[in-house]
């Protein structure tokens, strides 16, 4: 579906051509075999030297352009995987199909799915420079990492000494006015348990309750926007129905990815005939209440229900009560703002995915913080809450934050270049997303790093879009930064 003609005429042409070619290749996180093969073939066709490590990262090299041999060596870095989300009613097979893109004014978007500009545009920048014979640049390494979105296993798998550059440009920031010099770390928190189902008594009906149409978004960069979390809101609905209409829970599912604010959730309930009208009245009340509360942040929010045949099995009543309340009480959203950087979220948690069905309960969270001890304290708080529902909790995929360093020589060079080109100051900041820089920095001591990139909105959701004019601006800036890199 994705092809160069879709973006024909957009500038810079080479970047958009590479982005279109990349988006024709399936590249879900942890399933990057096809995009890695695409890159290997691309390098070989152009006689670009490259190597691959044990976890699947690719590192291409390009000598300095004439006269730049003594410039400080630079690493260009982007991740090849993408978040795979789609709207209800969209039937897209991310493992087999490319992305169906279209131009909407100054934006490139996808039809019903995530676009993959995060971080496909960064990959396209690097490929464009590797192929460009006229660009002036220092000695280059281009590092393409795998599985950034669901564990950062590519960055975590880097061996010390595999990357040699002194400066690193991470092309993964989503506002062209920002230079990012620090980020949060994260840890995956998973709580699980088993249960024995109970049969549904006679005289009960079935009810599907669905919460859908929420805005969702990036669970780090968008966590401060106050958007609804489908898992938390549905726990509120279930608790209210339990108290007012004595519902019994047969199954509960919500969310799909740890790093996306959940947009949808559903629950299959059993309810006595005598309580059905009471439940419908309560659902109507809750629908109005939630719509009023989230009219600004989630205007598409819908609470829907449907009467069906009764389920045959339900959760034990005590477990049901504990589970619903544990989810509703789980620490979520912003847990602490930074006391030193105004407006920056320091610690947060996203209750990302819930599944309670067929005798198994699983709750997945992603906890982030710029302070490692605070990150783990928040994770332990989740363990405590979910232990009250009888669930066991494990931590995995912990990665460090990136301590802000706004006064380094790379930061100064990029700030000065920005001011010279655009006659305004960039926003030099830290972000509440999990960038790979903190991990790479551990493996490359002394390396100075900056993250930058064109403006992307709606990342990790089907609303994702990238600004065409911003891509031109950022690519011009990218070339100028490299052209004027200081000498060693």
Q: Is residue 448 flagged as an active site residue?
A: no
Contact status, residue 361 vs residue 387, Cβ threshold 8 Å: no
Contact status, residue 180 vs residue 300, Cβ threshold 8 Å: no
Closest CA to 119 of 77, 65, 62, 159: 77
Query: Dihedral (C-alpha) 55, 58, 61, 62: value to the nearest 10 degrees?
Result: -170
Contact status, residue 431 vs residue 369, Cβ threshold 8 Å: no
Q: Is residue 148 flagged as an active site residue?
A: yes
Which of 81, 118, 282, 464 is catalytic? The answer is 81
Based on the number of CB atoms within 10 Å of its own CB, is 104 exposed (0-12), middle (13-18) or buried (19 or more)? exposed
Contact status, residue 110 vs residue 30, Cβ threshold 8 Å: no
Closest CA to 306 of 209, 202, 205: 209
Query: Which element (helix H / strand E) includes 305?
Result: strand 302-308
Which segments within 70-222 are labelled E, that is strand? 74-79, 101-104, 107-110, 140-145, 167-170, 178-183, 185-194, 198-199, 204-212
Residues 6+ apart with CB under 8 A from 292: none
Which of 100, 118, 141, 148 is catalytic? The answer is 148
360-369 vs 185-194, strand pairing mode: antiparallel
Which sequence positions are flagged as catalytic?
81, 148
């Amino acid at each position: 579906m994705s092809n160069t003609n879709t973006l024909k005429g957009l500038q810079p042409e080479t970047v958009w051509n590479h982005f279109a070619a990349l988006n024709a290749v399936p590249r879900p996180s942890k399933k990057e075999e096809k995009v890695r093969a695409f890159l290997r073939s691309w390098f070989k066709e152009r006689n670009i030297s490259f190597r691959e490590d044990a976890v699947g990262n690719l590192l291409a090299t390009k000598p300095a352009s004439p006269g730049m041999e003594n410039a400080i060596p630079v690493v260009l870095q982007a991740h090849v995987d993408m978040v795979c989300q789609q709207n209800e009613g969209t039937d897209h097979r991310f493992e087999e199909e490319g992305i169906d893109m279209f131009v909407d004014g100054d934006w490139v978007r996808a039809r019903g799915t995530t676009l993959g500009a995060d971080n496909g545009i960064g990959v396209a920048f690097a490929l464009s420079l590797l192929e460009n014979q006229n660009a002036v640049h220092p000695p280059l390494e281009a590092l393409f990492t795998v599985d950034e979105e669901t564990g950062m296993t590519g960055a975590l798998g880097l061996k010390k000494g595999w990357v040699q550059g002194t400066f690193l440009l991470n092309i993964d920031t989503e506002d062209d006015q920002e230079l990012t010099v620090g980020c949060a770390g994260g840890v995956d928190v998973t709580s699980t348990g088993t249960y024995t189902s109970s049969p549904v008594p006679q005289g009960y009906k079935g009810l599907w309750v669905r919460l859908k149409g929420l805005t969702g978004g990036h669970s780090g960069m968008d966590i401060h926007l106050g958007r609804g979390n489908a898992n938390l809101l549905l726990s509120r609905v279930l608790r209210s129905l339990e108290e007012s209409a004595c519902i019994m829970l047969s199954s509960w599912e919500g969310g799909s990815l740890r790093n996306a604010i959940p947009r949808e959730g559903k629950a299959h309930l059993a309810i006595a005939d005598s309580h059905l009208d009471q439940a419908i009245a309560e659902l109507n009340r809750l629908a109005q209440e939630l719509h009023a509360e989230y009219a600004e942040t989630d205007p598409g929010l819908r609470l829907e229900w449907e009467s069906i045949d009764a389920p045959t099995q339900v959760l034990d009543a005590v477990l049901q009560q504990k589970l619903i309340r544990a989810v509703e009480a789980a620490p979520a959203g912003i847990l602490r703002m930074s006391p030193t950087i105004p407006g920056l979220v320091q610690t947060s948690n996203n209750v990302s995915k819930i599944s309670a069905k067929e005798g198994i309960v699983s709750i997945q969270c992603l906890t982030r913080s710029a302070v490692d001890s605070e990150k783990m304290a928040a994770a332990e708080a989740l363990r405590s809450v979910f232990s009250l529902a009888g669930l066991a909790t494990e931590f995995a995929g912990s990665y460090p934050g990136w301590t802000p360093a706004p006064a380094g020589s790379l930061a100064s060079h990029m700030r000065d270049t920005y001011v010279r080109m655009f006659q305004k100051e960039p926003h030099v900041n830290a972000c509440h997303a999990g960038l790979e820089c903190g991990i790479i920095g551990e493996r490359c001591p002394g390396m100075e790093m900056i993250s930058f990139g064109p403006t992307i909105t709606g990342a990790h959701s089907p609303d994702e879009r990238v600004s065409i004019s911003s891509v031109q601006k950022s690519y011009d800036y990218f070339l100028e930064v490299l052209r004027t890199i200081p000498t060693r």
